[in-house]
Amino acid sequence: MSKQTVGMDTIQSFLAQKRIAMIGISRDPKSFSAQLFQEFMRRGYEMIPVNPQGGIVAGKPCVFRVQDIKPPVEAAIVMTTPEVTEHVVRDCAEAGVWRIWMFRGAGKGSVSRKAVEFCREHGMQVIPGECPFMFFPHTEFFHRAHGFFRKMAGHYPQPSTA
């Protein structure tokens, strides 16, 4: 899949939401998704864990599907495989979730070309393949370094020119 860039305005709009679903979160507290979930909570976000197998994450019961969240959220971070992401974005559209962040740090991530196209065709804001840690103020050195190297390579999101 060719890298499609996203503007900083889309990232800032997503991070301005204070109630966010994390879809595909692991119940393993040492997993990256659980650590990211905890970081969002530490920064004052209300996070709703979504995992079709249920369970508890950070003391919160997982909902089985994004459509089960009451009241609904307007933003979701997707931490699934690309194949599952294609189904998740359809669930998000059905639930009225119009801001989607398809996580990618290292490795394959959750980005799917079909899922990105679906989001764009349905008027959903989509962030295809960034790591939220890079965009938090006062984040740890590793994440700042990741962002720095992305900037040096010309792959860091730019402010909107509109």
List pLDDT tens digits, range 114-133.
999 999 999 999 999 888 87
Lowest mean pLDDT among 30-34, 93-97, 100-104, 132-136: 132-136
Let me know if residue 121 belongs to a domain: yes
Query: For residue 23, what is the domain's CATH number?
Result: 3.40.50.720
91 in Cβ contact with 63 (< 8 Å) = no
Let me know if residue 159 belongs to a domain: no
User: Which residues span the domain enclosing 83?
Assistant: 8-152
> Per-residue pLDDT averaged across 94-113, rounded?
87
Let me know if residue 92 belongs to a domain: yes
Residue 148 confidence (pLDDT)? 45
């990256």: which residue's tokens? 32
Q: What share of the chain is helix, strand, coil (3-state, %, to 5)?
A: 40, 20, 45
Kindly report the pTM of this predicted structure. 0.82
Nearest to 79 by CA among 21, 41, 20, 24: 24
Give residue-wise pLDDT tens across range 14-54: 999 999 999 999 888 888 889 899 999 999 999 999 999 98
Q: How many domains does the chain have?
A: 1
DSSP 87-113: HHHHHHHHHT--EEEEE-SSSS-S--H
